[in-house]
């Protein structure tokens, strides 16, 4: 799934705000533009959602197609709390849950999501092993994998990113950090 890009005029129309409001966001650095191959400044829809959430504003429905997100953890209580957090703070994420690494791998293979958020420490397979399996299969290699952990281990984080993970976040995941990673790793396609 790739995010859409909007021209500055489209941003004004979609949000029903004046162009001066959009200009003020650009001037204060809250919102960045990218130029198309034709030189037209555009704003990534995920970046716009990120800005709106930071400002406490609800993103318009349909601004970004739902990002299919699979959360994998061996602790059901952590899964439920993460799902509640994501559904409340990032309504554009279509969140599914899988208890345990093997169930998560099966779910990712049968119904590939756009993003997998997985615990780095699980008994059946570690997050690193699961990341490697996801990234090695042709049908799942394009999934954005993000690890999360309550214990930071720089060596393991490096190994995890070498295995193809986009990032490693704290557990429970900080929604703003997660959105930033998604904005970078999913919202990178430019409009022509």
- Residue 189: pLDDT band (50, 70, 90) is very low
The two structure tokens encoding residue 95: 């969140």
What CA–CA distance (Å, rounded) separates 58 from 108?
29
pLDDT above 70: percentage of residues in the chain: 94
| Cis upstream peptide for 101 (omega within 30°) | no
Q: Give mean pLDDT, residues 9-29.
A: 89
Beta carbons of 93 and 181 less than 8 angstroms apart: no
* Topology alike, domains 5-63 and 67-183: no
Run of H or E residues at 24: helix 19-27
Please check whether the domain covering 67-183 is classified as CATH 3.20.20.140: no
Count of all residues that appear for the chain in the document: 192
pLDDT of residue 192: 33
Q: What is the pTM of this model?
A: 0.74
Per domain, the residue ranges of the chain are: 5-63, 67-183
| CATH-assigned architecture of domain 5-63 | Orthogonal Bundle (1.10)
Do residues 168 and 146 touch, judged by C-beta distance below 8 A? yes
Nearest by Cα to 53 from 96, 23, 91, 6: 91
- For residue range 63-119, what is the model confidence (pLDDT) as tens digits? 777 889 999 999 999 999 999 888 888 877 899 999 999 999 999 999 999 999 999
């Amino acid at each position: 799934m790739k995010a859409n890009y909007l021209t500055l005029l489209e941003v004004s129309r979609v949000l029903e705000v004046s162009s001066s409001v959009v200009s003020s966001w650009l001037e204060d650095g809250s919102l960045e533009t990218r130029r198309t191959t034709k030189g037209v400044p555009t704003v990534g829809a995920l970046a716009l959602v990120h800005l709106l959430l930071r400002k406490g504003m609800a993103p318009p429905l349909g601004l970004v197609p739902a990002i299919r997100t699979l959360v994998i953890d061996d602790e059901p209580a952590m899964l439920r709390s993460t799902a509640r957090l994501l559904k409340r703070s990032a309504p554009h994420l279509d969140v599914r849950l899988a208890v345990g690494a093997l169930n998560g791998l099966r779910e990712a293979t049968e119904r590939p999501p756009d993003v997998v958020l997985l615990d780095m420490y699980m008994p059946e397979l570690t997050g690193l092993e699961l990341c490697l399996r996801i990234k090695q299969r042709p049908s799942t290699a394009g999934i954005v994998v993000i690890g999360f952990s309550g214990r930071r281990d720089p060596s393991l984080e490096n190994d995890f990113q070498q295995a193809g993970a986009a990032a490693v976040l704290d557990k429970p995941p900080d929604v703003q950090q997660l959105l930033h990673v998604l904005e970078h790793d999913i919202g990178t396609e430019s409009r022509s």
